[in-house]
Structure formats: C-alpha cells, structure tokens
Amino acid sequence: MKWYVLYTRSKCEKKVAATLTKKGVENYCPLNMKIRQWSDRKKVIHEPVFSSYVFVRTLDTELYRIKSACSDIVNIVYWIGKPAVVKDEEINEIKLFLDEFQEVQLEKKVVNIHDKVKILRGPLMNYEGEVLSVSSNQIKLMLPSLGYMMIAETNKNNVNIIEKAGKKMTDLINVEKEELHLN
C-alpha cells in the first residue's frame, strides 16, 4: 500500500475525504487551522493545506476504482507518466508539521538543488531536506516529491548543515556564518 494523490474539484477536498472515509478508503486531507476575525467574533476554521489535493493510501490496482467512487475526484495526480507516490515519511512529516504550526503557507516551486540540512529539534527532528532560503528565523523546507515547500519559523540553532550545495562539510570549516546565511 502506498500514498497516492487525488486531484479534486475546487473546494471539495473535505467532501472527497469524507466520502472516501465512508467507503472505507484510508485517506488524508491535511487541514490548516486558521483564525478568522469578523466584526463581532473570532472563529477557528480548517482549510485544506493543499488546494484540490487529497492523499489516499491504497494498492495501485485499486486507484482507478477509488477515482470513480466520487464524482468530485477529477483525476489522479501523475508524476513522470505514473501516478504520483508520496512516501509514508512525508505524510508523517506533514502531520507533525501541522500539529506544531498554525497558519501554514505553501508556495509552488520547481525543485532545485540547495543545501541539505538535518533538523536537530522540534516537530521535524531528524528530518533531512533541502533549504531554499533562511532569513531571520524563517526556514523554507522542500518536500521534493510534491514540489511544494512548507514554511515555518524555527530557531536557526535547530538546523545542522549536512552539505553545502557543491561542497562537503569538511570544506566549510573556515566559512563564516555570513556565508552560510545563518545571520
């Protein structure tokens, strides 16, 4: 069983997830908790993190049956001509990330090769990923198989550089903090 990505009609992610759950299909629709202010009150709402995406854990032979199970599923998401597979670790990291942070933002990006880091503390502890930028305390991490990056503020001291783009750790011994963009 693997995690696959379904593309849904706009604003139908939660409806698709509920329908799949009723049909006994393991699924995950990551929700972002947001606080909305109206003139008379504040309200907590849950919006899908990935617009028009729902993850399903199934056998590849069941994928097309699942697609036809709900009219709000537009298609299966493909990557290089095959249904896109998301690693269990990435689904778990999304869950941990959303448990720790509120008001998560997503930015669509082309996957580029950058510094590799390992998170030392916090919800992404021991997770290795690519840093797209570091400014102040904001670190952008890439989930390569999805082509999205999750953005969260974390202390720079929680990050250990494993490999600088094009250099090995032994080449960085005399490099100043400013060159590493960790100011």
Q: Return the pLDDT at 30.
A: 93
Mean of pLDDT values over 123-149: 62
Q: Return the pLDDT at 15.
A: 96
Mean of pLDDT values over 169-173: 42
The pLDDT tens digits of the residues spanning 78-114 come to 877 889 899 898 899 888 888 887 777 775 533 333 5
Number of other CB atoms surrounding residue 144 within 10 Å: 13
CB 26 within 8 A of CB 57: yes
Q: What is the CATH number of domain 89-172?
A: 2.30.30
The pLDDT tens digits of the residues spanning 11-57 come to 999 999 999 999 999 999 999 888 888 889 988 888 898 889 999 99
Q: What is the CATH number of domain 2-86?
A: 3.30.70.940
Domain regions of the chain by residue span:
2-86, 89-172
Q: Return the pLDDT at 165.
A: 64
Q: Return the pLDDT at 97.
A: 84
User: How many C-alpha atoms does 63 have within 13 Å on its Cβ side?
Assistant: 23
Q: Distance of alpha carbon 97 from its chain centroid, rounded? A: 8
Torsion of CA 32, 38, 41, 46, to 10 degrees: -10
